[in-house]
Structure 1
Amino acid sequence: MLTGKHAIVYGAAGPIGSAVAKSFAVEGAIVHLAGRTQKTLDQVADEIRAAGGQAETGVVDALDEKSVDEHAEKVGRIDISFNLIGHTQFFGTPLVEMSLEDFELPVATALRTFYLTSRAAARQMIKQGSGVILTFGGYGDPMANLGGFQVGFGAVEALRRSLACELGPHGIRVLTLQTAGIPESNPDTYPEDLRRALEKDTAARTMLKRAATLSDVGAVAVFAASDQARALTGTALNLTVGAVVN
């Protein structure tokens, strides 16, 4: 479905980023793995190549304008750009009790990385007259004590809409993969009892009483990036298993 396409995956060494990168590679894409740590990027690249796929790595700080722009220019042709940068989380504190710094950080991080990576990709895609820009997370019903985390996702969704409007005439699609949580991606550093509680809570909030998996994300990402989804832009693809109804 993606044969010959060049895809940049930002945050490619993380659980979700690596799953998406591997799915893209299986479908024939040349995957450019971007992240801050060469060692972990190389591990993902080795797995992709061992499975017969094509992967290149690049150390990129997605919060740094120069780093993002220089990497995109080096890649050259960009058919797919997917921002899967992990976001800082300050959960458990009511907004009225939170410091301004803790509130602002996840908002600024999410918005800055998506803007910089999307802008860099779009500048290449405009020359080509085609491309797909993807983001991850989406915006569901409000929940208490998430600090600026959900606010950041809301800001990214507003930017995604604006980008879709401006870039559509150039043949560029902009989409969100919306999730209500992927328990498989929870860090191994979490205590086991906490991971199990998160998995149980995520499943309980869905209609099908199961959480979306990493393979689910990879499959939908491939579809969204492919020509089979050429009629979709400016919208979110709902992977919440019914936790968010729309």
Structure 2
Amino acid sequence: MMLNDKQAIVYGAAGPIGGAVAKAFAAEGATVHLAGRTAERLEKVADEIRAAGGKTEIAVVDALDERSVDDHAAAVGRIDISFNLIGHVQHFGTPLIDMSLADVEGPVRNMLRTFYLTSRAAARRMVEQGSGVILTFGGNGDPMANLGAFQAGFGAVEALRRSLACELGPHGIRVITLQTNGIPESNPDTYPEDFRREIAEQTAAQTMLNRAATLADVAAIATFAASDRAASITGTALNLTAGAVVN
């Protein structure tokens, strides 16, 4: 198995993407530490992992809180893989010049804060080990109108990811982004069905393959990126956009 005996933390593990990744990590032999704000939702993912024979632990962690993140990382001990899949509230549909400063800077601050805190907590242990993988999600594609600070937040995270990769590479630590053009499967069930269908069709239409990336796609690439099979890959984004973004 690709991740046998690895210790992985998945932040935002109760969400659809985090849950899919966590289950894939566990299926490949990792002990997966599920971190999030709601224990009940984390337990549902943990139950599925255990039912499939995987190893997992849950912890209520606020990824915006420095002490919460640091205390949890210390309790985990060895960390081989850290993946930040925290969701963030965004303000879509309004032109940037019509938004308040608070609505613009809030998402950027929160996205950067969670990635920094979770990455720092893992990296401090990975430096001692001389190895590790830090993953983030989303990437930064071509600009689109009326997405608020969504893309600015991803851009800030990408800048930090590049700097971390540069500084941590000499310690044997890899830092990688999984870049997508949206995962329609992950859209909330609270969205009207017609709206969910419209988003899925629009996302697929933007691609070369006439399909969006799926949860299974993300889980498979995340597992590969976290494994020794990707030992020479760092400081980059792995393109899962199905051709929506051309490198």
**Residue type matched to 2:105 in 1?**
E
Partner of 1:170: 171
Partner of 2:193: 192
Other structure's SS at 1:112 match: helix
What number of residue pairs does the alignment pair up? Answer: 246
The answer to whether 1:105 aligns with 2:91 is no
C-alpha separation between the residues in 2 aligned to 1:87 and 1:60?
15
The answer to whether 1:44 aligns with 2:45 is yes
C-alpha separation between the residues in 2 aligned to 1:219 and 1:96?
39
Return 5+ residue gaps in structure 1 as ranges: none
Question: After TM superposition, where is structure 1 displaced by more than 2 Å over at least 4 residues in a row?
Answer: none
The CA deviation at 1:87 is 1.6
Partner of 2:72: 71
Other structure's SS at 2:119 match: helix
C-alpha separation between the residues in 1 aligned to 2:45 and 2:14?
6
Partner of 2:61: 60
The CA deviation at 1:105 is 1.4
Return 5+ residue gaps in structure 2 as ranges: none
Other structure's SS at 2:133 match: strand
The answer to whether 1:208 aligns with 2:209 is yes
Other structure's SS at 2:242 match: coil
TM-score using structure 1 length = 1.00
What are the Cα deviations for residues 133-179 of structure 1, in whole angstroms up to 9, with x where unaligned? 00000000011111111100000000000000000010000000001
**Residue type matched to 1:161 in 2?**
R
C-alpha separation between the residues in 1 aligned to 2:194 and 2:106?
28
C-alpha separation between the residues in 2 aligned to 1:168 and 1:210?
34
CA contact (8 A) 1:138 1:236 kept: yes
**Residue type matched to 1:190 in 2?**
Y
Other structure's SS at 1:143 match: coil
The CA deviation at 1:106 is 1.1
Partner of 1:121: 122
The CA deviation at 1:202 is 0.2
Aligned-pair Cα RMSD in Å: 0.4
Partner of 2:10: 9
C-alpha separation between the residues in 1 aligned to 2:130 and 2:89?
34
C-alpha separation between the residues in 2 aligned to 1:70 and 1:86?
21
Other structure's SS at 1:12 match: coil
C-alpha separation between the residues in 1 aligned to 2:23 and 2:38?
18
CA contact (8 A) 1:88 1:105 kept: no
TM-score using structure 2 length = 0.99
C-alpha separation between the residues in 1 aligned to 2:6 and 2:107?
31
C-alpha separation between the residues in 1 aligned to 2:25 and 2:52?
12
**Residue type matched to 2:233 in 1?**
L
C-alpha separation between the residues in 1 aligned to 2:76 and 2:103?
35
Partner of 1:245: 246
Partner of 1:34: 35
**Residue type matched to 1:3 in 2?**
N
C-alpha separation between the residues in 2 aligned to 1:224 and 1:188?
29
CA contact (8 A) 1:182 1:212 kept: yes
